[in-house]
A = this chain, B = another copy of it.
Amino acid sequence: MATINDVAKKAGVSKSSVSRVLNGNFEYMAEGTKTKILHAMEELNYTPNSVAQSLKKKSTETIGIIISDISNPFWSEVLKGVQSECTRSGYTLMVSSSEEKAEKEEENVLTLKNKQVDGLIVNTTGKNNGLFDHLVKEKYPFVFLDRFTEELKADTVIVNNILGAKRSTQYLIDQGHKRIGILLYPIENRSPRIDRLEGYKQALQENGLPVDDELIKVCDTTKDSGIKATQELLELSDPATAIFSTNTILNLEALSGAKKEGCHVPEDISVIGYDDYPWVPLLDPPLSTVAQPAYELGVNAALLLVKRMNRKRQPKPKIIQLEPELIIRESCAPPK
């Protein structure tokens, strides 16, 4: 690979001059030297070594993203948004995965920082507030993705989960349901879970309906726990007539659970889920869901980060809240 010195030698100039044309710094440069250098570059097929540039410029034109689970289609859609915005603005993406583990998350932040990424997008576990606190103190640019921490003020892009839960629950209420179960994963201090439960409760209360703990099913994340929870909801002495499921896995398990219990959806039990994918309309029955703007979430996160990175004066933390959309298909009906 040709270096700046090779170019300088071939063009018969100093490397300072070559560097100048690399950086488009043409004021005070004779036309002749410029073309000489351009020619030499061409001939040697030269591209500046960006590691060397990064060292001097203290910027790698790279941003890092830490995601809990890349293979989750929600996150991969988010990643696509981030990716596309990054290439648009000239950044390369380093991707790593925390697998929801605090230690992994910390490790990832550290290696990415050490690799000098210019900024970080993090779907945080929420268990490393000290670490992120430290980051804001050193003015290291980062944005939180899809999870919000009360204690820590930082740029955040999030989907309004209260609203999503409220809309779906309200929709069930409007159909006449009074016994609405909710399926969720352990709260673990995670804002989307907190908020979806909160939205569900708010909708009930606003409609004068009681919040019944029997109907709130916290499932562990082992396989099929949602199936069991669904069956339990159906076997209550005063059984649920509708189920609000708060994530993709639980959506599927709710459907399975109902089937197992011999209940038809939506005739015997209504189900409304969370997250939408191309295959959701092809489920049995086509599932109504709360669709989140995953791609936009990614785009906005990248946009916000880039904005912060380009500021010398650090602006106040900004929270961008996107709206989910209720998509009605055929999995809900009025109770019998």
Contacts and interface: CB of A to CB of B under 8 A. Distances in A.
Interface string A85-126: 001000011111100000000000011101110000000000
Given A112-B92, A284-B284, A71 B76 contact: yes
Contacts of A284: 282-285
A55 interface: yes
A51 B47 contact: no
A82 to B, nearest CB: 10
A96 B93 contact: yes
A252 B279 CA distance: 7
Contacts of A80: 69-71, 97
Given A71-B76, A283-B282, A51 B55 contact: yes
Contact of A79 (B71, B249, B277, B279): B71
A69 B252 CA distance: 25
A24 interface: no
A76 B83 contact: no
A79 B96 CA distance: 10
Given A51-B60, A77-B71, A256 B278 contact: no
A50 to B, nearest CB: 5
Contacts of A62: 94, 115
A76 B71 CA distance: 5
Contacts of A304: none
A47 B54 CA distance: 17
A111 B61 CA distance: 11
Interface string A131-173: 0000000000000000000000000000000000000000000
Contacts of A255: 282
A75 B70 CA distance: 10
A114 B47 contact: yes
Contacts of A236: none
Most chain B Cβ neighbours within 10 Å, of A60, A69, A92: A92
B83 A96 contact: yes
A70 B95 CA distance: 12
A51 B50 CA distance: 10
Interface of A: 47-52, 54-55, 60, 62, 69-73, 75-77, 79-80, 83-84, 87, 92-97, 110-112, 114-116, 248-249, 252, 255-256, 277-279, 282-285, 295
Closest 9 CB pairs of A and B: A284-B284, A76-B76, A71-B80, A95-B95, A71-B77, A51-B116, A51-B54, A252-B282, A71-B76
30 contacts: A47-B110, A47-B114, A48-B114, A50-B114, A51-B54, A55-B55, A62-B94, A70-B76, A70-B79, A70-B80, A70-B83, A71-B73, A71-B76, A71-B79, A71-B295, A73-B73, A80-B97, A87-B97, A92-B94, A92-B111, A94-B94, A95-B95, A248-B279, A252-B278, A252-B279, A255-B282, A279-B279, A283-B283, A283-B284, A284-B285
